Structure formats: structure tokens, C-alpha cells
Amino acid sequence: MNPKLSKKAIKEFEVVTNIKVIKLLLDGTRKDIVFKYLVNKPMTVKQLSVAMNKKPGTVLHHVQKLKSVGIIVLVETRETPRGIVERYYRAIAREFRLGISERMSAYDESTVPPKDRVNATLLGLSTLGVVITESEFKHARTILQKLIDRETEMSLVYNTPKNHAYQRLPQSTRRDVSQRMLQFLLSQDEVHQKILSEWNGIIAYYLKKTSSELA
Amino acid sequence: MSWPSNYPDSPDDDKTLTETRSAASSPSGLLKDFKVGFTLAIKNILSFGLAMVGILVVTILLLLAILLFIAIPLLFTLGIPFIITLIETISTGFTGSTGLTLVLLIMFLVLPILGPFFIALGSLFGMAREIVESDGTLAESAFSWYGKRGLSLLGGGVLHVMITLAPLIVAFLAISYPTWNPPTNTELRIIITLIVIWIILVNGMLSLTFPGIIDGLSVFRAAGRSVKLTCKFPGRVLGAWFIIVLLTGVLILPIINELTILWMPFIPQRILEMYRPIAIVALLFIIIPAVSIILTRIYMILTAKVDATYTQDNGGE
């Protein structure tokens, strides 16, 4: 039986940049523990060992390593009537990205981009004609960061551990539901509208500039 | 801005959680620790037994390796006459020296010998962790813990010994410095009583150090956590420890030759002789594994209570 209540909120997203942690996650068993099982639901060492057909001792060693670097957390300790003390572990996020460009995820797309991708996004926009000058880069970065922060903040309104039915949705459905709900919430949010307008102004300015240069 | 919960918790959930928490710290929790500890130790007696034998062999080999590691280079670099002189010096040290020299000499000789035993004992806590967390273990697991947490377990054991012996060393130095000044019988009685209380109490407070090391903590953090948990839940930790001391005492006191005179009026010599091997086997294969399971279980429950992740499953399995 899995716990009904997860006391710590699961993040939608986590970027792993520490090389030590990335190396740790490249191990086959640990990769399976995190990306195949613990991103989906909390599980005990015994459940993991049964699911993976491995010795509990081996799984426990891997789980302890993952816990020590903060990739997984202990969410519940349940004492069974027979006296076994089951510890339920869960990944800290539903999706992990290794570094900036590489990614290992439970699904392909995400609604909330991580902060570390702001620079990459700004540089990537140049491929679409939005070539931000070096002097304006910092300003554009601040605006985009604000936009992302606001979106993340709004997504936390509904993405709480207490919304059990939502948390139990299949990942792809949850992603779609999240996208639609976030879209609605953001359209109602004045703060977001203000930042978005500023951001759109930057995009429009640089697109116009590129067009005039080409002409 | 808040969002309505679409899967509201039962209003009784918090109440139930509080009730189970208080139940876990009650005397019934302590009884359950022992019941579960002994049940699981007996259930896993084969794994523990094989692990104990295996660990004993490895420990002896390790001791030999340590001795060889020290003896062979000494033999080749300094020669046999030096070794003889060294042994004579150590012997003289025991008889002639007093105070700090003697203390350092004992520590220098005792700690390397005890080291492998600390790791061996710690490995049993690793097995106990597997049993308490996943309801089963294998004999080979002990070696895995031996290899992966060896140094930390060694450090844990050394810390135990140092803290336990610290006041004894201070008392010894106080008696022996500047001149040997033996205490009177009354003083000795008080000193021995205080030492016994200290040894039992401090080892009780540090009893969760090995489970902490197995949980991935460093030696000092594990010891610190053990003390903190004892201060927060003295009934559970020290209560269990006193019962363990009592049980072990009752089991092993009759097998100590020097104390035979105490038991002679109550237990016939023939029964006492039969009892000795049984007590040693029970101590090695049941009591020690059960103690490691009990302490690990207590550690896991109490840390979960501190981290607020503890719940008790009242349903069937």
C-alpha cells in the first residue's frame, strides 16, 4: 500500500548541473530507480527490489546514495503491524534535466522551463530572428526570468501535494491539464500580463529591427 | 491565491497521526521493539549466523593482516633484536610506567585490535537495517556493509571507546599523578558505581550511532543524532538500552568464572557447565542480532518522528 499523503511537494522540474550527481545518475540501477519508478510514485526499498528483481540490500545502497545527493527524498515512514518500518522514497521532481542541453526525463515536454535555460532560450531566439544585442541581453534576461518565475509561481497554485487526484493523473494528461490551467490562470493575472507585455515588446522590437535590416 | 483540494483529507487524519505518534512512544512501543527484534532475529538466524561466522573469519584475517603489516616491515627494516627490545619496552611500560604513558600504551595496543570488531559489529547493523526496512537480508550483505561503511563503522567504534573511557582515564591520571595515590575503599566504591553508571548511560546515549552511520551519516553526526534522539525520547532509547543491558547481564554473568561463587548456591555446577555454551551461542546468534534490529528499528521510528514522516499502518499486510 502506498501512502495517501505525500507531505513534501514534488517539483515539476529539476536541473542537475553537478557533475558528481550526473555521474551518479548514469548508473543503470540508479537511473531506473529514479526515472522509472520514483518520479511516478513513492516506493519502499522492498517494492523497488521486487519491481527491479534486485536484492533489497543492493537497492538500499543505491537509494541511500541518491538520498545523500538530494535526488530523492524520504516522504513517509510507515510502521506495519508486523513491525517492519517501511520508508517511502520519492524523486524530488517529476522531470530532471542534466546540464542545460542534455536531458533525461520521464516525458518529453515540460510546461515550466528551468531558470538555467533562460540564457539558452535568449540565444536560441536568434535562430528565429530575435537577435538581442549584448547591451540589452541583461535586461531581456531579467524580463524572461520574471516571466518564468511568475509562471512557476502560478503553477504552484494548483500543483500542490494535497491535490491528490491531480497528482495521480498520468504524466501526459497531467502535463496537458497543467498547460491549459496555467494558460487560463496567467490570462487572469495582471502581474503576468504586465511582464508579458514587456517581454512581447522586446520580441517585437528585435523582430522589427531584423526585418528592417534585411529589407 | 489558494486552490481548492480536489481530494480532501479526512478530518480525522491529523488526529490519527497524533494518536499513532503518541502510541509509538508509549511502553507498548518498547515492548513491540523487543518482540519484533527477537522475532526477526530468529527468523533470520541463518543469515545472521553465516554472516557472523564469515565476519569472524574476515576479522581474524584482518587482524593478522594488521599484525603482518606492522611486523614484517619492522622485522626487515629494524631486525629481530629491535623487536625483542620493543616487546621488552612495552612490558616494562606496563609494569614501570604510570599515568599518561600507561594509558597511551593501552590505547595504542587495544584500538587496532578492537578496530576490526567494531566494523564487524557495525556490519550487523547494516543487515539489521535491511531486515527492518525490507523484511529480509542475506549473509553476504554483511560483507557489503563491511566494505562500504568500514571506515565510518571503525570511527564509530573508536568514538564509543574514547567517550566511554574518557572519565576513567581522567580518574586514573588523577590517582596516579604526581604520585600514585590509591583511593580508599569507600572512595573506590563510589568511583566504581559512578563508572558503571557512566558506562551504561553514555553507551545508551550513543546506542543509535551505528544505525546512524548505516543511514549514511558521518561518525560525529551519527553520534550527535544519537544523543539528540536520546534527549528527545529518553524513555524509548534509554528504556530499550537498560533492558538490553539487563538481558545481556542476566545471560552472561553466570558464565563468568570469577562470579561462579555467586551462582553456586542456586545453580548446580553441572547445569552451569551446560549453560555456558548455550549462553554463548544465544548471545552471538540471537541476542546480538536482536539488539542490532531493536536499535535500528528505534532509530528509524524516532528519526521519522523527528522528520514528521512517521505514520503507523493499522491495517493488515
pLDDT tens digits, residue range B23-52? 545 677 888 999 999 999 999 899 888 888
Q: Which residues of A touch B314 (CB under 8 A)?
A: 81
- Residue A188, SS3 per DSSP: helix
The residue of chain A nearest to residue B309, with distances taken between CA atoms, is A76
Residue A108 belongs to some domain of the structure:
no
Q: How confident is the model at residue B136 (pLDDT cuts 50, 70, 90)?
A: confident
Residue A106 belongs to some domain of the structure:
no
Spatial separation of the C-alpha atoms in residues B87 and A72, rounded to whole Å: 54
- Residue A76, SS3 per DSSP: strand
The residue of chain B nearest to residue A161, with distances taken between CA atoms, is B5
Are A121 and A210 part of one and the same domain?
Answer: yes
Q: How confident is the model at residue B7 (pLDDT cuts 50, 70, 90)?
A: very low
Show which of A96, A126, A145 is a domain's final residue.
A96
What are the C-alpha distances in Å from B13 to residues A83, A195, B17, B309? Answer: 21, 41, 6, 14
The residue of chain B nearest to residue A158, with distances taken between CA atoms, is B3
Interchain pair B313, A80: CB under 8 A: yes
Q: How confident is the model at residue A179 (pLDDT cuts 50, 70, 90)?
A: confident
B306 versus B260: the higher-pLDDT residue is: B306
Average pLDDT over residues A61-87: 89
- Residue A94, SS3 per DSSP: coil
Average pLDDT over residues A198-205: 90
Are A210 and A118 part of one and the same domain?
Answer: yes
Interface check for A86 against chain B (CB to CB < 8 A): the answer is: yes
Torsions phi, psi of B218, nearest 5?
A: -75, 170
Are A128 and A85 part of one and the same domain?
Answer: no
What are the C-alpha distances in Å from A124 to residues A76, A119, A173, B292, B315? Answer: 42, 8, 28, 57, 55
Interface check for A84 against chain B (CB to CB < 8 A): the answer is: yes
Supply the pLDDT for residue B55.
82
Q: How confident is the model at residue A8 (pLDDT cuts 50, 70, 90)?
A: low
Residue A34 to chain B, least CA–CA distance (Å) = 19
A172-186, B8-22, B268-282: least confidently modelled range? B8-22
Cross-chain CB nearest to A165 (options B6, B216, B300): B6
Supply the pLDDT for residue B15.
44
Q: How confident is the model at residue B106 (pLDDT cuts 50, 70, 90)?
A: low
Interface check for A137 against chain B (CB to CB < 8 A): the answer is: no
Q: Is the pLDDT of residue A148 over 80?
A: yes
Show which of A62, A96, A130 is a domain's final residue.
A96
Residue located via cell numbers 571503525:
B154
Q: How confident is the model at residue B103 (pLDDT cuts 50, 70, 90)?
A: low
Residue A24 to chain B, least CA–CA distance (Å) = 16
Spatial separation of the C-alpha atoms in residues A183 and A172, rounded to whole Å: 17
Interface probe for B, chosen from A85, A87, A163, A168 (most Cβ of B below 10 Å), is A85
Supply the pLDDT for residue B8.
37
Are A18 and A72 part of one and the same domain?
Answer: yes
B23 versus A37: the higher-pLDDT residue is: A37
Lookup: cell for A28: 543503470
Residue B252 to chain A, least CA–CA distance (Å) = 28
Q: Is the pLDDT of residue B90 over 80?
A: no
A62-76, A108-122, B12-26: least confidently modelled range? B12-26
Residue A81 belongs to some domain of the structure:
yes
Are A45 and A80 part of one and the same domain?
Answer: yes
Interchain pair A166, B35: CB under 8 A: no
B19 versus B227: the higher-pLDDT residue is: B227
Q: How confident is the model at residue B13 (pLDDT cuts 50, 70, 90)?
A: very low
Residue A104 belongs to some domain of the structure:
no
Supply the pLDDT for residue B107.
67
Q: Is the pLDDT of residue B315 over 70?
A: no
A43-57, A129-143, B216-230, B275-289: least confidently modelled range? A129-143
Q: Is the pLDDT of residue B245 over 90?
A: yes
Are B195 and B187 contacting, i.e. CB atoms less than 8 angstroms apart?
A: no
Range of the domain at A134: 113-214
Residue A76 belongs to some domain of the structure:
yes
Supply the pLDDT for residue A63.
93
Average pLDDT over residues B43-69: 84
Residues 6+ apart with CB under 8 A from B237: B204, B205, B207, B208, B226, B229, B230, B298, B302
Are A147 and A60 part of one and the same domain?
Answer: no
Interchain pair A81, B5: CB under 8 A: no
pLDDT more than 90, % of chain B: 27
Supply the pLDDT for residue A48.
93
Interchain pair B130, A60: CB under 8 A: yes
Q: List residues bridging with A76 in a β-sheet.
A: A88
Residue A26 belongs to some domain of the structure:
yes
Q: Which residues of A touch B21 (CB under 8 A)?
A: none
Are A124 and A209 part of one and the same domain?
Answer: yes
Interchain pair B311, A82: CB under 8 A: no
Interface probe for B, chosen from A55, A74, A77, A80 (most Cβ of B below 10 Å), is A77
Residue A43 class from Cβ within 10 Å (0-12 exposed, 13-18 middle, 19+ buried)?
A: buried
Residues 6+ apart with CB under 8 A from B166: none
CA A143 from centroid of its chain's CA atoms: 21
Q: How confident is the model at residue B20 (pLDDT cuts 50, 70, 90)?
A: very low
Residue A27 belongs to some domain of the structure:
yes
| CB-CB neighbours of B64 under 10 Å | 11
pLDDT more than 90, % of chain A: 19
The residue of chain A nearest to residue B300, with distances taken between CA atoms, is A85
Spatial separation of the C-alpha atoms in residues B39 and B48, rounded to whole Å: 13
Q: How confident is the model at residue A172 (pLDDT cuts 50, 70, 90)?
A: confident
- Residue A96, SS3 per DSSP: strand
Spatial separation of the C-alpha atoms in residues A151 and B109, rounded to whole Å: 65
pLDDT more than 70, % of chain B: 80
Q: How confident is the model at residue B9 (pLDDT cuts 50, 70, 90)?
A: very low
- Residue A8, SS3 per DSSP: coil
Average pLDDT over residues A60-65: 92
Q: Which residues of B touch A80 (CB under 8 A)?
A: 313, 317
Are A122 and A187 part of one and the same domain?
Answer: yes
Q: Which residues of A touch B309 (CB under 8 A)?
A: 7, 74-77
| CB-CB neighbours of A90 under 10 Å | 23
Are A135 and A183 part of one and the same domain?
Answer: yes
Supply the pLDDT for residue A119.
78
Q: How confident is the model at residue A3 (pLDDT cuts 50, 70, 90)?
A: very low
Q: How confident is the model at residue B292 (pLDDT cuts 50, 70, 90)?
A: very high
Cross-chain CB nearest to B216 (options A45, A64, A160): A64
The CB-side HSE value for B311 (13 A sphere, CA atoms) comes to: 21
Q: Is the pLDDT of residue B53 over 60?
A: yes
What SS3 string covers chain B?
CCCCCCCCCCCCHHHHHHHHHHHHCCHHHHHHHHHHHHHHHHHCHHHHHHHHHHHHHHHHHHHHHHHHHHHHHHHHHHCHHHHHHHHHHHHHHHHHCCCHHHHHHHHHHHHHHHHHHHHHHHHHHHHHHHHHHHCCCCCCHHHHHHHHCHHHHHHHHHHHHHHHHHHHHHHHHHHHCCCCCCCCHHHHHHHHHHHHHHHHHHHHHCCCHHHHHHCCCCHHHHHHHHHHHHHHCHHHHHHHHHHHHHHHHHHHHHHCHHHHHHHCCCCCHHHHHHHHHHHHHHHHHHHHHHHHHHHHHHHHHHHHHHCCCEEECCCCC
Residue A131 to chain B, least CA–CA distance (Å) = 37
Supply the pLDDT for residue B242.
94
Q: Which residues of A touch B304 (CB under 8 A)?
A: 74, 77, 85, 87
**Average pLDDT over all residues of chain A:** 81
Are A89 and A142 part of one and the same domain?
Answer: no
A68-77, A148-157, B172-181, B295-304: least confidently modelled range? B172-181
> Dihedral sign, CA of B273, B276, B277, B278?
positive
Q: Is the pLDDT of residue A151 over 90?
A: no
Q: How confident is the model at residue B205 (pLDDT cuts 50, 70, 90)?
A: very high
Supply the pLDDT for residue B204.
93
Supply the pLDDT for residue B3.
42
Supply the pLDDT for residue B256.
76
- Domain count within chain A: 2
- The CATH number for A60's domain is 1.10.10.10
User: To 5 degrees, how large is the angle CA A198–CA A199–CA A203?
Assistant: 120
Q: Which residues of B touch A165 (CB under 8 A)?
A: 6-7
Average pLDDT over residues A154-183: 82
Supply the pLDDT for residue A107.
44
Q: Which residues of A touch B126 (CB under 8 A)?
A: 57
Interface check for A50 against chain B (CB to CB < 8 A): the answer is: no
Residues 6+ apart with CB under 8 A from A67: A73, A74, A89, B216
Q: Taking each helix axis from N to C terminus, what angle separates B288-306 and B219-232, rounded to the nearest 10 degrees?
A: 80
Q: Which residues of A touch B301 (CB under 8 A)?
A: 77, 79, 85
Interchain pair B313, A79: CB under 8 A: yes
Residue B50 class from Cβ within 10 Å (0-12 exposed, 13-18 middle, 19+ buried)?
A: middle
B9 versus B194: the higher-pLDDT residue is: B194
Are A170 and A134 part of one and the same domain?
Answer: yes
Are A148 and A75 part of one and the same domain?
Answer: no
Residue A130 belongs to some domain of the structure:
yes
Q: Is the pLDDT of residue A116 over 70?
A: no
Q: Is the pLDDT of residue B94 over 90?
A: no
Which H/E stretch holds residue A181? Answer: helix A171-188
| CB-CB neighbours of B243 under 10 Å | 16
Show which of A71, A96, A121 is a domain's final residue.
A96
